[in-house]
Amino acid sequence: MARQTLQLRLTKGDVVARRYTVLKELGRGGAGAVYLATTVKKPPIPVAIKFLINPGDLPRFKRERKVMESVTSPYVVKLVDGGTHEGFPFIVMEYLSGGSLRDVLDARKRLPVKEAAWVMVMAIRGLRKASTVHRDLKPDNLLLTKTKEGAVRFLVGDSRNGTTVKVADFGLAKSRDPNTLNLTNSRHVMGTPIYMSPEQCRNTREVGVATDIYALGVILYELVTGRAPFDAESAYDIMTMHCNDPVEYPKGMDQRVQTVLGRCLAKKPEDRYRSLYTLERDLGAIAGVGEPEPDRSRWTWWVIGGGMLLFIAVAWILHDRLWLAISTLIGRIF
């Protein structure tokens, strides 16, 4: 089976599972390969097909598919299909022709404050909907749509006419529920060093929502300054800096952004934002897009709590009336 990781080489015109025609390879890594394809069924629709080529990563591959199947959000890459081709598991996703946020940074270096805040708001909306800890957030995993004019252009507060940010690659994701089996626990450090939190660098079991908040802080810092807060030649040096070095802020940085970054990039998880909701709220204020939608769980508890109070009140009233009726009846009889 190990040799099979080297054998998946599809070329233009190859048909996958009798449903997709390969156009070209988009990228390849140690665990998977991604191809641009179109549906065989007319009219042809472009899709991205991700193949697992390392059997050792099958649990993560399954986890990614499970997360994507459970999410319906304009800010998360949509899962279209899945299956097996010549022994290789694959998932089919919508194809986003706008590239990634990494491409934007390579081309523009940095973004205006409001634009950067809006980009982060869209990413956070996707993460909140997914209800998972991503653990590998970085510009490469934030994919982009193009506008009707075929350009990548962020229109603050308008993801319908402007470019939309969509979260991708949930291969390292874990449930936010501490009682859920974690398929990605291991003795190996997981993540991309430049965007890893101190607790990830130390490989502790404290990884949670605060870990994603730290990574979002790193991305925001990069969006507004054009560079990462910590960088070095070796991964070890970068991780050491995350754990020990203070963040340096350029002179003249927008004070609101610096305040948000201070809460995102705190060394201790408990000193960061407690939720993605509050982070989205503060970034939304900077972007000028208003308050975020409350977490579904918050509304659920309010509804349940309100329903229980109403039930108790009704039961109490009926209880009093019932005893009054019984007492009146007894009085008439005797």
Packing angle of the helix pair 209-225, 113-130 (nearest 10 deg): 160
Question: Which residue, chain included where needed, has tokens 């054998």?
Answer: 7
Hey, what are 303's tokens? 């509804």
Which 3 state secondary structure label does DSSP give 302? helix
Question: Which residue, chain included where needed, has tokens 């949509």?
Answer: 78
Could you list the active site residues?
136
Q: Which residues pair with 262 in a beta bridge?
A: none
Which stretches of the chain are DSSP H helices?
Answer: 58-69, 101-108, 113-130, 198-201, 209-225, 235-244, 255-264, 276-287, 296-333
CATH number of 2-94: 3.30.200.20
Query: What per-residue confidence (pLDDT) applies to 308?
Result: 58
Average confidence (pLDDT) per 10 residues, the chain, 334 residues: 62 97 91 94 96 90 91 95 95 97 97 98 96 92 96 96 95 55 42 93 87 98 98 96 97 98 98 98 96 70 52 56 64 61
Sign, CA torsion 56/59/62/64 = negative
Q: Write the DSSP symbol of residue 191.
A: S
Query: What per-residue confidence (pLDDT) applies to 88?
Result: 94
Per domain, the residue ranges of the chain are 2-94, 101-287
Query: What per-residue confidence (pLDDT) applies to 225?
Result: 98
The fold for domain 101-287 equals: Transferase(Phosphotransferase); domain 1 (1.10.510)
